[in-house]
Homo-oligomer: A and B are copies of this chain.
Amino acid sequence: MSILEQIKTELPWLDDKVAFDLTRGKPSPDQLSMTEKTFSSLAMPFEMDGIDLRNYGTPEGIPSARELGSKILSTPLERTLALDNSSLTIMQQILSCSYHLDFSRSSLSAKSKFLCPVPGYDRHFKLLENFGIQMIPMPFQSDGPDLVSLKELLNEHKDIHGIVCVPRHSNPTGHVYSDQNVREMFSLLKKRSNNLMILWDNAYACHDLKSTESQLPIFGMAEEYDLQDNLFVIGSTSKITLAGSGIAFFSSSQINNNKFIDYRNSLTPGPNKINQGLHVSYFKKVSLEEQMSELRQLLLPKFDLVDGHLSRLKEQGLCNFTSPSGGYFISFDSIQARASDIIKNCGDLGLTLLPIGSCFPYNNDPNNSNIRIAPTCPDLATLDKCLNIFTKVVKKLN
């Protein structure tokens, strides 16, 4: 009997109609309904902060929305911009601005290299690849990017012009950078500050599910190393309120902000201010803390469920994984180099996982070990079924 046939025998509910998906970090309908409840009661705002939200203009975003971004990202209000609906789109514009026009201390070119702690976020890597930027993978240590490797890579390569970081509940590993790690990283990066972009994607800044190490505001630390012109902080409300209909934020030094707004004036007559106003109104009714607390109640059981399944595999020596303290993902590593087989067999049984290597630049997982699990979207019962398929496949293949 083939592995697939064996598993079908052991999981009697598993028929050919099963179509589960753990690929993307999408909020569940439950999460969205929680937000919808308040969102649907909001009056559409047409004026706020003395600004006509209906018209063009206010390229930096409306003050109240900037205040929200400043709170989420722990960045200075006067340096925080509230922009469009996707922080990825903002990243593309940041990279474009550096590539085609330059920031004061960032000038990307087709020769540029970017350091990419791995496993990391697939869309970051695709975005960098699309600019022809050469990506250099580097490992993590327990509390952030691996500093020994960082030092070696900086010695080895001339044209390192950037690094991409998800500093809190890193996608997908869940790493939370310690202040000490950040300071040592900045100390090493300082010598490259003439041309260096630190892309600081704080997408999960307030997405703690369990007690999580606190972090100092990033600009203070950057200033200690005179790296404030190298730091490009982004984030959004996408995984806080409504995915896709949120606000993305940008924060950098004043000189970079001015440059970026000037650049953006060539490519937009301004952000959607009505949507900004809606979010401001939302957070007048529900505090950010209440919102995250309610989301936590929906998300934590899912993470605990995955944790239970993977812990049993880990006890059997079949995988490594670190239970994340927050964020949207769990990173699974097959002890044997079996990730591609696991993905293939799960797919054959109706459970779609990201293709092999998705969390690595150029889709190259050197150990054929990593699989990102995105547990947020399915309901708890479905997630349990997904994990039953997954763990059975892992066991049969080892």
Chain A interface residues toward B at CB < 8 A: 24, 26-27, 29, 32, 35-36, 39-40, 42-44, 46, 52-57, 84-86, 88-89, 91-93, 96, 100-101, 123, 126-127, 129-132, 238, 242-245, 263, 265-275
CB neighbours of A52 from chain B (8 A):
29, 32
Say whether B275 contacts A238, CB under 8 Å.
no
Do the beta carbons of A274 and B242 come within 8 Å of each other? yes
Query: Would you mind naming 28 contact pairs between A and B with Cβ atoms under 8 Å apart?
Result: A24-B56, A26-B56, A26-B57, A27-B54, A27-B55, A29-B55, A32-B52, A32-B54, A40-B46, A54-B244, A56-B238, A56-B244, A57-B244, A84-B85, A84-B89, A86-B267, A86-B268, A88-B269, A91-B267, A92-B93, A96-B130, A126-B265, A130-B263, A238-B269, A244-B269, A244-B273, A245-B273, A245-B275
| Smallest Cβ-Cβ distance to A86: which chain B residue | B268
A183 to nearest B CB, angstroms? Answer: 32
Residues of B within 8 Å of A131, CB to CB, are: 100
Q: Is the interface of A mostly helix, strand, loop or mixed?
A: loop
Question: Which residue of B is nearest A85, CB measured?
Answer: B272
Shortest Cβ-Cβ A-B pairs, 4 listed: A126-B266, A92-B267, A32-B54, A245-B274
Instruction: Give complex CA distance A364, B274 in Å.
Output: 36
Contact of A100 among B55, B56, B101, B132 (CB under 8 A): B132
